[in-house]
Structure 1
Amino acid sequence: MDLASSRLTWNLLACLCLSVAPLTAQPTTVDNVVLITLDGARTQEIFGGLDIGVLRSTIDDVAVETTEVYQRYWASTPEARRKRLMPFFWGTLMADHGSIAGNRTHGSIVAITNTQRFSYPGYAEILTGKAHDDIITSNDNRRYPFPTVLDFLKNKLGLDRNQVAAFAAWETFRWIVSNEAGGFTVNAGYQAATDPDPVIRALADQQFETLTPWDNVRHDFYTFRMAMAHLAAHKPRVLYLALGETDDWAHDERYDRTLQALARSDDYLRELWEWLRAHEQYRDRTALIITVDHGRGNTVADWTDHGSETEGAQYIWMAFVSPTVSLRGEWRDHDPIQQDQVAATLARFLGLDFRSLTPTAGLPIKALFAPAR
């Protein structure tokens, strides 16, 4: 066989091998789930970054252009502003690994179904799969008899108390996350640690030395660091991270610190994502849902507010990252999504049916489980 014939034969064989090589199938379920909430983070900032009208309304006696927050986060388009505010979320996570719904300018509607439009009812809707307007009408530290998706996953998967964990900035999560105390790891607000892990114990001690302006909400730093320490020490299959400063600084009319809290949250997401990618148990085996308990007012007069009378507070956003889902970037012109669908969607990522526990819960979000084209 001459050289030209030999090359032709090998090229044909190579092409044949490529044509029959099996494609790597996209997985249909995952092994782990992470739920993350950024309390009261408005769609306006998530999709548009710095709101110049709101910033101007909070600045006295100086030109807004001279402020540090303007110089750090302002850009001429919504897309550029949001990327300056949350560079990892928009530049990497949503661009390469996930998708986000809730930008109403693109015909993407995500809304709560409860009529209260404040925190406890919103978190209860997320975790129990339905609104409880007739019962949950306050933010009081009170436990209700409705099992949550965290309870469901612990029992259905036969997990121990460290394999399901919730870390939250707001102390009321001690009552929100489960209908029974002590079933899984919970640390929320200014709470001492029972975990023997030295990193967690040190963080729990330090939080009492760096108080926030709020009696029942600690700095997100401690919530995030404890969650990461628990992740490293115990390798949970179900993790809930509930950050809070995005809401509390807004209530205090500190728009600068609200934006800074969003920027820190972006950095936390980056660190969490890099950790998950670095560990085989989680890499390409973990689904994330990132969302919010309620929206806020649309205008400079009510951006600090939310509640049943605040227009705009019913609209929220949801982001999804999973190796089972090929969607990327922003959702457009789709059927509306509701907050009560989070619980069933989280369970469905693990191949489980949350509605077997709560038949009236919202359905899994259909587009996330459509066959890949």
Structure 2
Amino acid sequence: MKKLFLYFVLFCGMLGTVKAQTNTIENVIIVTTDGFRWQEVYKGMDSAIASDARFNQQDSTGIFKKYWVPTPQERRKKLMPFLWTTLAEEGQLYGNRDLQSNVNNANPYWFSYPGYSEIFTGFVDTAINTNAYPPNPNTNLLEFLNKQKAFKGRVAAFGAWNAFDRILNEKRAGFPVICGKDSCGGSHTDVEQQLINKMKHDEYSPFGDEEQLDVFTHYAALDYLKKQTPKALYISYGETDEWAHHGHYKDYLDAANRVDKWISEIWNYIQTNPHYKDKTLLLVTVDHGRGLNEQWTSHNNKIPNSNEIWFAVMGPNMTPAGEMSNTPQLYQKQLAQTIAQILGFTFTAEHPVAVGFKELLVR
């Protein structure tokens, strides 16, 4: 009887192991927070910038009170608690150059349109050398996924910046891209969508008509996630870049802190919904880096360090390795194929697609 009981326990354990190994990633949530530096991600607030009267919005005391603690590990956790608890415990973070984990733009320009194009096409098109570039001629990953049987009609993108219509070439790609002040909900809006649309229309935007505040992008995307259950969803937050360009360090940090809170909200929903739970990849990254010290407000190929980026990723079957060190040199253009591979596809297009690095993430 004891032997039978032992065999039963071993058999159940084997079933549990098989079940754990057969969890597959069927969905993907991609989040970007525009131009947010790796320095704040890995070290927290920069005391030199926070102390500089040119950048602290006359509230150095408030910045220190909210975000300062003695060690970089404590500071980064104060700034981005979800990233440094849940994601660091369950996933992997790349791009801390102090630990020899280097991630870079491959494009030679180091600003937004080329960066987002590189993320999603897996390709550097040197003709894309301005943020005013017309609709992207290159096939993107979301467009590719939307052509796959399981993903058809279940792909969407939300962005604060109105350029995403062009970056993702909405007309050709065939999936909804709700960006800038675009209304959400289509032609049959419910009460929540009507309220979101009214607020988007009536909001005061410090960035002009080209970009709305992130709060409207977030709640429009979250509403879509809950009601439409997309299999591939992209959300782009923009305030980290906008406030940096304004030289507002307090607003820049607050924007990053809000993004962290919203990612937590998205992930908590994912992990309580049977459609997504233990079947979803989360990738968080940026389109470009920024300069150092007084040059932190800007970025381009004339400002050193603007090509230094980072990313964080977690999902089932992914090694929970936390902060990575001594990794191979990685490039932004490799993300598209890596995501495709994790979802079980090979991303092909009319242009070359950079090789992925799935083997680094899933072991």
Tell me which residue corresponds to 2:201: 208
Offset at residue 71 of structure 1 (A): 0.4
Where does residue 281 of structure 2 map in the other structure?
287
Task: Provide the residue aligned with 1:42 in structure 2.
Answer: 37
Of 143, 152, 175, the match for 1:151: 143
Task: Report Cα offsets for 1:86-142 as digits up to 9, x if no partner.
Answer: 1111012221x2111000111101001001000000000001001111x10100152
Distance 2:204 2:179 in 1: 14
Aligned to 1:138: 130
Are 2:49 and 2:55, in contact at CA under 8 Å, matched by a contact in 1? no
The CA RMSD over aligned residues, in Å, is 1.9
In 1, are the aligned partners of 2:170 and 2:177 still within 8 Å (CA)?
no
Could you say which residue in structure 1 is the equivalent of 2:166? 175
- Give the direction of change, closer, same or farther, for the CA distance of 1:263–1:126 in structure 2 (3 Å limit): same
3-state secondary structure, aligned to 1:249 = helix
Are 1:357 and 2:349 an aligned pair? yes
Please give the alpha-carbon distance, in whole angstroms, between the structure 2 residues aligned to 1:101 and 1:60: 28
Question: Cα distance, 1:145 vs. partner?
Answer: 1.2
Aligned residue number for residue 17 of structure 1: 8
- CA shift, 1:17, in A, is 2.8
Which of 263, 268, 278 pairs up with 1:269?
263
Match of 2:318 in 1: 325
Asked if structure 1 preserves the Cα contact closer than 8 Å seen for 2:110 and 2:301, the reply is yes
Query: For residue 5 of structure 1, what is the aligned residue in structure 2?
Result: none
Distance 1:311 1:244, change over 3 A: same
CA displacement at 1:31 relative to structure 2: 1.1
CA contact (8 A) 1:33 1:237 kept: yes
Are 1:144 and 1:179, in contact at CA under 8 Å, matched by a contact in 2? Answer: no
Which segments of structure 1 move beyond 4 Å, counting only runs of 4 or more?
Answer: 59-63
Q: Distance in 1 between matches of 2:147 and 2:55?
A: 51
SS at match of 1:80: helix
Which of 76, 86, 91 matches 1:82? 76
- What amino acid maps onto 2:235 in structure 1? L
| CA distance in structure 2 between the aligned counterparts of 1:368 and 1:341, rounded to whole angstroms | 12
Change in CA separation of 1:37 and 1:276 when aligned onto 2, cut-off 3 Å: same
**Alpha-carbon distance between aligned partners in 2 of 1:63 and 1:114, rounded to the nearest angstrom:** 37
Question: Which of these residues, 189, 192, 207, is aligned with residue 183 of structure 2?
Answer: 192
Structure 1 pair 331–70 and aligned structure 2 pair: CA distance change class (3 A): same
Distance 2:297 2:22 in 1: 42
Read off the aligned partner of 1:176 and give its amino acid letter: I
SS at match of 1:332: coil
**Per-residue deviation, 1:144:** 2.1
Query: What is the distance in 1 between the residues matched to 2:230 and 2:132?
Result: 29
Deviation, 1:19, is: 3.0
Structure 1, residues 178-199: CA drift from partner, whole Å, max 9, x if none?
3644711111011233522322
* Counterpart Cα distance in 1 of 2:211 and 2:109: 21
**How far 1:358 moved relative to its partner?**
5.0
Partner of 1:128: 121
Q: Is the 8 A contact 2:145 2:152 kept in 1?
A: no
3-state secondary structure, aligned to 2:258: helix
Change beyond 3 A, Cα 1:116–1:218: same
Q: Residue 174 of structure 1: CA displacement?
A: 1.1
> Does the CA contact (< 8 Å) of 1:200 and 1:230 recur in 2?
no
**How much does 1:16 deviate?**
3.4
Distance 1:60 1:107 in 2: 30
Residues in 1 aligned to 2:88 and 2:22: alpha-carbon distance in whole angstroms = 19
Tell me how far apart the structure 2 counterparts of residues 100 and 176 of structure 1 sit (CA, whole Å).
Answer: 26
Structure 2: 5+ residue stretches without partners: none
Match of 2:334 among 341, 354, 364: 341
Identity %: 33
| 1:97-112 → structure 2 map (5 Å cutoff) | 97-112=90-105
Task: Please state how far the C-alpha of 1:68 moved relative to its aligned partner.
Answer: 1.4
Residue by residue over 1:229-267, the C-alpha shift from the partner in whole angstroms, topping out at 9 and shown as x without a partner, is 011111100100000000000000000000000000011
Runs of 5+ in structure 1 lacking a partner? 1-8
Q: CA deviation at 1:61?
A: 10
**TM-score, normalised via structure 2 length:** 0.93
Query: How many matched pairs?
Result: 355
Cα offset, 1:59, TM superposition:
5.7
* Code of the aligned partner of 2:356: P
